[in-house]
Structures are given as C-alpha cells and as structure tokens.
Amino acid sequence: MAETIAQLDPMTEVAKATGGNLSPGDLAELMAAFTEVTTKLERTHEQLRSEVSRLNAELRDANEALQRSRRLAALGEMAAGISHEIRNPLGSIQLYTNMLQEDLSQMPEQCEIVSKIGRAVRGLDEIVGDVLSFAREVQARPRPCDLEAVIAQSLESCCAEISGSVRLEIDTQHSEIECDAALLQQALVNLLRNAGEANRISGGDEIIIETERTQIQRDDRVESGIEIVIHDRGDGIPEQVIERMFNPFFTTRAAGTGLGLAIVHRIVDAHRGLVEVGNHSDQPGAWVRLVLPLRQPVVVVKSDVQSVADLRAHVPHAGASPIAMR
C-alpha cells in the first residue's frame, strides 16, 4: 500500500525526475503551480455549485408553473359547467323581466323595481361571462402588430375609468411585435382598470405606460423581447396580496369576480411571456410588467393535424420558462 501511495504522490515523481535533489527555487515554483491549480479547481467548483443552484431554482419554478396550469385547467372545466347551468335560468329571468316591463309601462314605481331586477340579472350574466372567459382555452393567434396602436386602443377602451393623467414612454423604434392584438388589448385594459382603481382609492393622479426592448433567457438561448410596464400612484400592493393576486377568484374588492388578473396571466402565458409585479421603492404606487417575445411560433395546420413549429429558429424547449434580462 505504501508503495502504491508513493507512486501516486506527485512530489515523489518530481523528486525522482530531479534525482532527489530539489532546489529552493524548484520547490517554490512547484508550490506556486500547485496553488494555481488548486485555486482554479476551487473557482470551478464554486461555478458548478452556482450553476446547479440556478438550475434547481429554474426546475422548481417550472414545476410550480406546471402544477398551476393543471390546477387552472381543472378549475376552468368545473367553472364552465357551473356557468352554463347558471346562464340558462338567467336567460329566462331576463326574458320575463322584459315582458313585465312592457306590461307595467304605465306603472312607474313597479316598472322601476322590475328594472332593478333586470340590472341585477345583467350583472350576474357579466360575472358568468367572466367565468366562461377564464374557463375557455386561450389560444393566441399572433399577427404583426404595432404595439403603440394596441396601447392606444386599450386606453380608449377604458379612458372613462381612469382618473388623472396618462404618461406614455413608448420605444417607438421597437414598436412592432407579433401578438394577438385582441388578447393583448384585453390584458392591458384589465391592468389599466386596476391602476385607475388604485389611483382613485388613494388619490393618485398619474398612470405611466412604458415599453422597452429586453432579452428573454430561455434554457439554451436568448430571445429578443419587449416589456410593457404600467405604473400607478396608488398605495402599493401588500406582499401577501402579490403572492395570490393572479389566483382565480381572488380579489380584495367588495365587488368583482377576481378573474381579471387570472385572465391576464393566461393571455401572457399564451404568448410565451411572463408577468411581474412589484412596488416602487422611492415613491407611492405599484408596477406590473409584461414581458413578451417579439416573435411567436408559427402554427402550421396539415389536414386534421395541428403542429407548432418555429420556422425562424428550430430550437427545442421553445416553451420553457423564460427569465427576463435587461
């Protein structure tokens, strides 16, 4: 055993090569080389540990996203069944309400009571519509779009619900994006309404919308993207609310279904993007950031078989969890 160890000892081999005589200079050079190799090994080890930690974090995030998708799918199926059962009797109630209004047209007080019933029915029908919209599978049909125009149309749709001013900081040099304009507009309207509500409650007087080019880090490639950030001047969002705000049916309001942000999340997922939420550290208010890739995979339909292929870059793991990088 001792002979084997001696054979493996690099110092022994060096001693043999030098006839057993090592000068102080040789020994210093040898120790310096040994120290350099050891330092490199330690640095490599730390890099490997850091990489393993990063991959574990990405795997955990991907598993959480997968579990969330499965829960949302199951919840969506249940909600769709319940909503259909509710909508049928609501239609009958609305029909009878309209008939009563015609019969009581000469009786203003009674007609007003019937009108209240009709308004309540329409409110319930809107809630059912939100549930069905959430339950429906979101399939983006991307087309080349002008992001600035989509933002302008979104503002026009909800301008009555926004108090104060709106400041646009649009990167006009990089405004073209492939997206489903109708779905993206729906997501932006939901976020703008929330920002307007936050300002109204706290007395905030400004909403800021900014866009900026960014990079999306996927598993083995970097993809060009664009981020849309909406800032409000409200009271901010508590941390416990941020953790749950995209869960379906979660709301902090007295009225509403709590499905608006859940639908936003599904729309962004359909575009292979991500949503981030936070509070400003140096001023009042919160921000919501949508990160979307500039280009979307092309859907190719052959006979009855539908396959998705990215004709620009045939890269695997196209739907992997992205990480936004400035």
Mean pLDDT computed over 128-152: 84
Mean pLDDT computed over 133-159: 86
User: CA separation (Å) from 107 to 89, 94, 111, 223?
Assistant: 26, 19, 6, 66
Instruction: Tell me the CA end-to-end span of the chain in Å, nearest whole number.
Output: 58
C-alpha to C-alpha distance for 144 and 318, rounded to whole angstroms:
19
The residue among 181, 183, 171, 173 whose CA lies nearest residue 150 is: 181
The total number of residues shown for the chain amounts to 326
Tracing tokens 């310096």 back to the chain, one arrives at: 32
The ranges assigned to domains in the chain are 24-137, 143-325
| 260-274 confidence digits (pLDDT tens) | 888 888 899 889 898
Burial of 147 per CB tally in 10 Å (0-12, 13-18, 19+): buried
Residue 81 vs residue 146, higher pLDDT: 146
Task: Output the six-digit token pair for 244.
Answer: 């749950």
Of 46-50, 73-77, 84-88, the range with the lowest mean pLDDT is 73-77
C-alpha to C-alpha distance for 112 and 176, rounded to whole angstroms:
50
pLDDT score of 302 more than 70 = no
Burial of 308 per CB tally in 10 Å (0-12, 13-18, 19+): exposed
**What CATH number should be reported for the domain whose range is 143-325?**
3.30.565.10
Taking a C-beta distance cutoff of 8 angstroms, is the pair 253, 269 a contact? no
Mean pLDDT computed over 129-133: 75
The residue among 127, 132, 169, 166 whose CA lies nearest residue 148 is: 169
DSSP state of 161: G
pLDDT score of 293 more than 70 = yes
Q: What is the largest CA-CA distance in the chain?
A: 122
- pLDDT band for position 253 (50/70/90)? confident
Tracing tokens 């307007």 back to the chain, one arrives at: 196
Instruction: Give the pLDDT confidence score for residue 29 in this predicted structure.
Output: 81
| 5-19 confidence digits (pLDDT tens) | 444 455 555 555 555
Tracing tokens 């619900």 back to the chain, one arrives at: 161
Taking a C-beta distance cutoff of 8 angstroms, is the pair 184, 265 a contact? no
Backbone φ/ψ region at 286: left (φ over 0), alpha (ψ -120 to 50), beta: beta
C-alpha to C-alpha distance for 34 and 36, rounded to whole angstroms:
5
The DSSP string of 13-35 is HHHHHTTT---HHHHHHHHHHHH
How are beta strands 305-309 and 176-179 bridged, if at all? unpaired
pLDDT score of 23 more than 80 = no
